Amino acid sequence: MTTAGGSLASSPHSPTETSDSQAHPHSFSSSFASDRTSQLPRSQTLLPTIPVAAETATMTTSPRTILFVTGNANKLKEVRAILLSSTQHTENANPAATPSFSVESQDLDVPEVQGTTEEVAKAKCKAAAEIVGGPCITEDTALAFEALGGLPGPYIKYFLKAVGLEGLNNMLAGFPSKRATAICTFAYSAGPGTEPLIFEGRTEGKIVQARGPTHFGWDPVFEPDEGEGKTYAEMDGVAKNKISHRYRALDKLRKYLLE
């Protein structure tokens, strides 16, 4: 991959995640964070990195940095927590003897296209890789209402901003089905000019009247089937991160990066 201090090691394999193409594993250099920071324009700031334990004891002991393109502090916090939790609970993992992922965040103004969740994710990740000049990951979420044929889908944040939590419920007034699917799509680019790989996670549930804290998007109106009657917002972070759409997508990405 093309980035200061970066390195790329690959061997052919077929990723287990949802993807339209074959992929090759990539390792991130421990010097990526410091080199990338020195090259950024002053208008672009990076949030602090937090080490996340990896699982493969045979790899180098230098931390590997993942550049996550997001300006959402709640997403960043959840991604770091999921990575740490999933690596600690992996069979035969030995965190004390293994390297770390450190998740670095950069907020970019990336144009968003219209299309399917996969088309939106790939376009966003391609644009981000061109801007940062190196490897990066992006994330998009969607909330698909069964009664509306999959809408709002990847445009949920615009619907939420326009009509609010109550409005999301009102959209389903008169429809017998309140079923919904929460979808998370992570896209990984090895750098400018490369085709992003897609890692998707889904969690089934239903839309309910808002319950719980309202600081994290549409969490208060989504009650997952595996949530024991609680909305995402009512669940504690540890419980949510075991069943969430974000966890399922990110765990596929994590496994790919460690192969």
Binding-site members for Mg(2+) are 112, 140
CA dist., res. 250 & res. 255, Å (int): 9
Helices 73-88 and 245-258, axial angle in degrees (round to 10): 60
Place of tokens 């970066």: 6
Can you point out the beta strands (E) in the chain?
46-53, 64-69, 100-106, 136-145, 152-153, 179-189, 197-207, 222-224
Task: State whether the Cα torsion 49-24-243-137 is positive or negative.
Answer: positive
Alpha helices (H) along 133-244: 156-170, 237-243
Long-range contacts at 30-35 (CB < 8 A, ≥ 24 apart) = 30/60, 30/62, 30/63, 30/64, 30/65, 31/4, 31/5, 32/3, 32/4, 32/5, 32/6, 32/64, 32/65, 32/67, 32/104, 32/134, 33/65, 33/102, 33/104, 34/5, 35/3, 35/4, 35/5
What residues form the annotated binding site for ITP?
Answer: 70-75, 124, 140-141, 216-219, 240, 245-246
Q: Per the omega criterion (within 30 degrees of 0), is the bond before 176 cis?
A: no
CA dist., res. 253 & res. 198, Å (int): 9
What residues form the annotated binding site?
Answer: 70-75, 112, 124, 140-141, 216-219, 240, 245-246
